[in-house]
Structure formats: structure tokens, C-alpha cells
Amino acid sequence: MVTGYLDHLTVERGLAGNTIASYRRDLRRYAEFLTAGGVEGLGEVGESDVSAFLVALRTGDDEHPPLSATSAARAVVAVRGLHRFALLDGLVVDDVAAQVKPPAPARRLPKAIPVEQVEALLTAAAAVEGPRGLRDRALLELLYGTGARISEAVGLAADDLDLGSAAVRLAGKGGKERVVPVGSYAVRAVEDYLVRARPALATKARAGVRGGALFLNARGGPLSRQSAWTILREAAERAGIPAELSPHTLRHSFATHLLDGGADVRVVQELLGHASVTTTQVYTLVTVERLREVYATSHPRALR
């Protein structure tokens, strides 16, 4: 039965060889678990047996270490698929595994850095002499001040930014555009860059290369995502920030600091360009964790 199911996945579904190998190991363990429990065939399996197998995956035994939620979920998916295949083939009368849900992987909270570290990062970016320092400061100020994705920031044209109204037009995923306000610090940093640095960078562009991008590299062409990563990493090193940062860290920090300041989650949703507020609500978990930390360190009866 297992062989037939795996052949079906290989031929009909076209699953990768590594996936098939993982499913084979998972189903072999499932068969051993059922045999140890006195179950001799799929027709004798009940929903409680499938649930017990999931528990065994997570707790481990003398021969198997406990599986992570992700690995256990893969095994449960393999088992559910096997029972569904058996039902469609008429080998069993009921799909007893249908209601056994794979465990959800642990939710990874977005990494945000404190406001003090953001300020140190921005100061470090400006420490580079010449046009590059002005550009780097403007880029990081804009990322933190608007919550823009790195692809949105490096994709900006000079005329996407309206400094008079302190707003920027960002092109998000799926081509969906949104207009986001720009804070005064970012406005000043971008103004300094446009007046004192960008013209010098633009003159270095090769003939025939259009310099319409807002952020330019040392050769006068559009700044790449990889270069933006380098700018952030080098600024973090100069600022002495030990955490491993990415451009998305500033986006996470933007959202988290807004919510810490009392912003409505739906407003933050619009600013981030999330299609669903559910995506944005992960940031509320960050602020709740921050509340717990403050409570634990401040309340006289918080620690036991």
C-alpha cells in the first residue's frame, strides 16, 4: 500500500526525490508505530491512532528524538495523504486521518531593534565622508521612516518622492501602489542627499544610462538591493550593533515602534502595504512581549 502511494506521488504528482525519501521514512515509522500497537492494517486504524502517532513524533522515544513542529507536520501530511489515497482506492471506508491537523510551526516574531539602536545606525551611516555618506543616511532614514521594503526603496524614481507634501509613492507587491508619509528626519536627509550628493553621483553615469533612480551607486547607476544590504551591514558594524540586521529589520522596527506609540494596527497595515490585517497583527505579538518585559522588570510582584 505504501509503495503504491509513493509511486502515485512520484508519477502523478511529480514530487521531488528528497520529498519522496522523507515520506518513505515517515510512513515506515508510522507502520512500525501501528504494528507496535497491535494494528495490522489501515482498515483497523482509528483517528485516535493517528493522533497518538503525532504525539509520539513530538515526544520521541528511545529510538527517535522528538521532532520539531515542521518535521512532525511533514510526517502527518504523509500519513493523511496515505489514508486519503486508501479511501480513493476503496481500500478503507473512512478517512480517519482527515481531522488530525499537522502541528503549526512556532511563529517567528519579527526582529525589531530599539529606537536607540536605530538612531546609532543612522548616525553611523552618515559618518562616511562625501556623497556616499549623505546617500547612505538618506536611504536608511527613508527605510525606517516609511517602512518601505528594500525593493521598494531602491526602485524609487526621483519624482516618486514629494518633499513638499512629505510623502512618497511606493510600488509594492503585485504592482499595488501606496502613498506613505515621510517623517521630518527622512525629509531632511533626502533633501541633503538630493542637493549635495546625487548630482555628483549622476555625473558619473555612463553615456546612455538614464539616472532617474532616486538612489544612485558610485557609477551613477541605480543602487542595487545587494548594495543596500552592504550599506546597512557596514553602518551596523560602525555603530557596534551586534544583532544580525537586514533591510527588513528597519521595516519591522518601523511597524513595532508605531504600535508601541499607540498606532492603530489597521493604519500600520496601510503603511506597510499588507493586503490583510492578519499579516500586520504579528507585530502586536512583539509589542505584547515588550509589555511583558516591562511588567516583569517594573512591577514589585511580577517575579516569583
Task: Name the strands in the sheet holding 161-162, side by side, starting at the edge strand that comes first in the sequence.
Answer: 161-162, 167-171, 177-181
Instruction: Give 108's contacts (C-beta < 8 A, 6+ positions apart).
Output: none
Assigned superfamily of 116-246: Intergrase catalytic core (1.10.443.10)
Q: Which residues are annotated as catalytic?
A: 149, 173, 248, 251, 274, 283
pLDDT at position 208 is: 43
Contact in structure between 277 and 269 (CB atoms under 8 Å):
yes
Chain Cα centroid distance, residue 294: 26
Q: Where in the chain is the domain with CATH 1.10.150?
A: 2-88
pLDDT at position 209 is: 46
Range 84-121 burial, b when 16+ CB lie within 10 A, else e: ebbbeeeebeeebbeebebbeeeeeeeebbeeebbebb
Instruction: Give 199's contacts (C-beta < 8 A, 6+ positions apart).
Output: none
pLDDT at position 9 is: 87
Low-confidence spans in the chain with pLDDT less than 70? 106-107, 109, 206-211, 243, 294-295, 298-304
Q: Where in the chain is the domain with CATH 1.10.443.10?
A: 116-246
CATH of 2-88, one of 1.10.10, 1.10.287, 1.20.120, 1.10.150: 1.10.150
Among residues 190, 166, 194, the alpha carbon closest in space to that of 180 is found at 166
- pTM (2 d.p.): 0.63
